[in-house]
Structure 1
Amino acid sequence: MGELELLSHHCQHLRLTRIAQRLPTLLEQAAQQELSYSAFLHTLLAEEVASRQEKHQALRVQMARFPFHKTLDAFDWKAQPSIDPKVIKELATMRFVANGANALLLGPPGVGKTHLSVALGLEACRLGLRVMFTTAAALITTLGKALYENRLEERLKLLTQPKLLIIDEIGYIPIDRQGANLFFQLVSRRYERGAILLTSNQSLGAWGDVFGDAVIASAILDRLLHHATTINIKGDSYRLREKRKAGLVRSSVTAHPEL
């Protein structure tokens, strides 16, 4: 067995897969650049560390179950002048997650709330944080099923594990009293311990109708808003704007009432 083949075998045995793949190229580059032993070792280890970080990030993204992948760089800031990019970029530092705080993105459908929530979730994954993405409807269904199967405590523990829980589309579908109580239990479990980022098409004043109970809605908001950044987004839907450009709807049509 030749020296290069033996080195590759050792790398495979130690599960240094990136080094094993890149070893011939890295050896050639080291010879050309006349790298010292320490510099070459640094290059080898940096390759392996980068590879493992990429794999772990990909796994975190997969486990988060985002509906799509869109970044902050892909967001059309000019189309939504009501949003202050500095506030979003501050959220992207994930300091609010470290502090167990929350973020609320409010606005009519189609103004980019889900895009921003996914982009922030992807940034959290990049920074090494565990993230879970769910819609409000799916979350309530999951909690209701767990209650029926006498596994609510188990499910609540699972939902408190991610550093960032993203709940999308609160207000699109009415929540009954049982669902409201289950949602309150989840928010209480994560209060000051795990960050929540949520989006809603309803103003906070309308959450009593969303949850079917003003008292429960008030208790939920009391915990969510204690440490929170609230962003109100105004404007037309991206989809409606594109239809207007295509002449499919008249400009005088109002998509959604303002908050």
Structure 2
Amino acid sequence: MDLKEMCKTLRLAHVSDIYSDIPCEDPTQFLKTLFQKELQLREGAKAERLVKKARFLQKKSLSSFQWSEQIHFPSHIDSKELCTLNFIARKENLILTGAPGTGKTHLATGIGYEACKQGLEVRFYRVSDLADVLERAWSEGKLSQLRNRFKSVDLIILDEMGYVPFNKEGAELLFQLISDWYEQKSLIITSNLEFSQWNRVFSDSRLTAALVDRVIHHAHILNFTGDSFRVTNALSRHK
């Protein structure tokens, strides 16, 4: 059995490709370095798989996010603590509110990418798209299967809550799903509406109140103010 066959038998996915690049003076140190690289490459491959499953609409990183004084934090958390992602382990929510173009989706996506790098299961949805998926699953009798897909998910990002109003069925199905996740998953929700305006999206005031109650419990609420980055950049190009 040659080296490649042995690596395949031992399920060492990368060793046969990298061992010749590692200098060998001390056999123990050689193996330690070799296996460290194997683990790093496995973690990288796992992160890539998790990013693909998350279905982000854009590639955005936390390192490229521009923190500013226009992002208002609650007193109990700051950007450094937020970037540890400890809130996910505690199954807490993150609510990002403010005008369009102020960086909410960038931050939500950046946190999602970082969570994937840490080996966590993430799903990204525009809220209107998720409502459509729920209605289709319900009409096809596949709602239970859809809900079961989230059992192993750690973080769910719901982008653009409030941009498109729901019909009665879509609102009720989304409420059921968020109720499933209550204290079981961590959510990140971006919205251009204040909570008092969510009844524009969910026409039933009682359902809206119950939904907001679940979402803001155990939540960190960040408010984004200022002008749209997209508008500012467009205007600067025409000066």
* TM-score (structure 1 length as normaliser): 0.86
Out of 218, 227, 238, the residue aligned to residue 236 of structure 1 is 227
Residue type at the aligned position of 1:210: V
Deviation by residue 1:37-71 (Cα, 9 ceiling, x = unmatched): 22122112111111111111110011000111111
CA distance in 1 between partners of 2:83 and 2:128 (Å): 26
% identity of equivalent residues: 36
1:51-200 superposed matches below 5 A: 51-78=41-68, 81-83=70-72, 87-200=78-191
Shift of 1:214: 1.5
For 1:69 and 1:89, the matched residues in 2 are separated by 21
- RMSD of the TM alignment (CA)? 1.9
Distance in 1 (CA, whole Å) between partners of 2:14 and 2:151 is 34
8 Å contact kept, 2:93–2:218: yes
Deviations 1:98-125 (A, max 9, x none): 1111110001111111100100001111
8 Å CA contact 1:8–1:23 kept in 2: the answer is no
CA offsets, 1:136-168, max 9 Å, x none? 011000000111111112212213431000010
Question: Taking structure 1 as reference, are residues 89 and 175 closer, same or farther at Cα in structure 2, changes over 3 Å only?
Answer: farther
Segments of 5+ residues of structure 1 without an aligned counterpart are: 249-259
The answer on whether the counterparts of 2:71 and 2:222 sit within 8 Å (CA) in structure 1 is no
User: Any unmatched runs of 5+ in structure 2?
Assistant: none
Change in Cα spacing, 1:112 to 1:101, as seen in structure 2 (3 Å) is same
Pairwise CA distance, 1:183: 1.1
SS at match of 1:72: coil
Other-structure match for 1:223: 214
TM-score (structure 2 length as normaliser):
0.92
More helix by share: 1
Equivalent position of 2:193 in the other structure:
202
Q: How many residues align?
A: 237
* Bigger relative contact order (CA 8 A; separation at least 6): 2
Partner residue, 2:35: 45
* Secondary structure at the counterpart of residue 232 of structure 1: strand
